[in-house]
Chain A
């Protein structure tokens, strides 16, 4: 089945890029006419942000080392080291009632199904199908999608299911007395093996217990900007545990490598 689809996609994928072309052109035109002042402002802002992030990363490296050492004491191997590939959304619309988007990177870049997809603010979804030049990504808000999550405050495990609305996730499997409050951050729990542990998914925005039912009514808003971002990151999580004593090699597996085009 898959070779057939791959072969046929050679005929069809150019159409996807063709439909996306006006959006790209408009974007490029907007880029080329943006004023010097605006560019300078943006540059300044980005530089500031970069500085802040760099400083945070300094601390992060130390914390990471400490965490690995502590885990070593617990005799627990720690998965680390993720590669990301930046993919751009094609503005096409395949099915109106499903939350599946198409991006411009496919098996030619080594993308394969079930890879997690992030943006700068959180988890976006997972790769659903990959073709040579494009791949389809199912968003976490798709009604057929569920993601194992954990409440960041207390480690409570549960599952967040898509609701079919772009700004809403549902947590259908928590009892009425669960320790969860509006404002709680939900992060990926790493269970199930698809999503790496510890990435922000959503913020709880409503909690109502239903006295006549077994489970509470909980909804959350995804932290990722599902309706605004055009750039997404496809993540490879390396399953190699980090050695307890890191070797002094040139490419340290602990540092995040960014694979850009």
Chain B
């Protein structure tokens, strides 16, 4: 009954993350732009797992595919898998300090990027630049920022107080 309260807020943050994903940056910085959509989805799946789950991950993955002009479904697959792992581990992860969560986030981002790499490789032998892996590192570094901002959004919206 209370399920849809604050869903707009969640969707708004994800839409903002999608904007950040395609924001124009100088060429030197563009390779560093982390996967904001995945970071946002991870945060919400850890904070309010009863609201944001694999379905959301899959839907926003598809939208990200269209947004960035990739093969339809590759982000959907990567995001769903990562969010599945997050949902399985969310109880334990909530206890960790932010830095320790960062390590987990690193492996999540690495997994997603590895999947994207594999899918790209299946299409045609990819000759990817080493900079393909940079978003994993910058994403890990920006996790505390994402955590702080979204936590603020969650608390001001009184989201995640179950019942």
Report yes or no: B18 in contact with A93, Cβ–Cβ below 8 A. no
The 8 Å CB contact of A12, one of B30, B31, B63, B72, is: B63
**Chain B residues within 8 Å of A1, by CB:** 72
Residue B110 CB within 8 A of the other chain: no
Number of interface residues of A (CB under 8 A): 26
* A residues 1-26 touching B (CB-CB < 8 Å): 1, 4-5, 8-9, 11-12, 15-16, 18-19, 23
Report yes or no: B30 in contact with A9, Cβ–Cβ below 8 A. no
**Chain A residues within 8 Å of B66, by CB:** 5, 8-9, 12, 131
Q: CA separation between A156 and B143, bound complex, in Å? A: 55
The 8 Å CB contact of A96, one of B15, B31, B63, is: B31
**Chain B residues within 8 Å of A104, by CB:** none
Report yes or no: A96 in contact with B131, Cβ–Cβ below 8 A. yes
Q: CA separation between A17 and B66, bound complex, in Å? A: 14
Q: CA separation between A12 and B33, bound complex, in Å? A: 19
Residue A100 CB within 8 A of the other chain: yes
* A residues 125-157 touching B (CB-CB < 8 Å): 128-129, 131, 136, 143
B71 to chain A, nearest CB (A): 9
Residue B163 CB within 8 A of the other chain: no
Q: Residue-by-residue, is A85-121 near B (CB-CB < 8 Å gives 1, otherwise 0)?
A: 0000001111111001010000000000000000000
**A-B residue pair count with CB separations less than 8 angstroms:** 61
User: A1-B72, A5-B72, A8-B62 are contacts. A93–B67 as well, Cβ < 8 Å?
Assistant: no
User: A93-B24, A94-B67 are contacts. A19–B19 as well, Cβ < 8 Å?
Assistant: yes
User: A11-B63, A93-B33, A96-B131 are contacts. A18–B19 as well, Cβ < 8 Å?
Assistant: yes
Closest chain B residue to A10, Cβ basis: B66
User: A8-B62, A93-B30 are contacts. A19–B22 as well, Cβ < 8 Å?
Assistant: yes
The 8 Å CB contact of B23, one of A8, A11, A93, A128, is: A93
Q: CA separation between A34 and B49, bound complex, in Å? A: 53
Chain A residues engaging chain B, CB cutoff 8 angstroms: 1, 4-5, 8-9, 11-12, 15-16, 18-19, 23, 91-97, 100, 102, 128-129, 131, 136, 143
What are 7 A-B contacts with C-beta separation under 8 Å? Answer: A5-B72, A12-B63, A12-B66, A19-B23, A19-B24, A102-B69, A128-B69
Given contacts A95-B69, A143-B127, 19 further A-B contacts (CB under 8 A): A1-B72, A15-B19, A15-B22, A15-B67, A19-B24, A92-B22, A92-B24, A93-B22, A93-B23, A93-B25, A93-B33, A94-B22, A94-B67, A95-B70, A96-B30, A96-B131, A102-B69, A131-B66, A136-B69
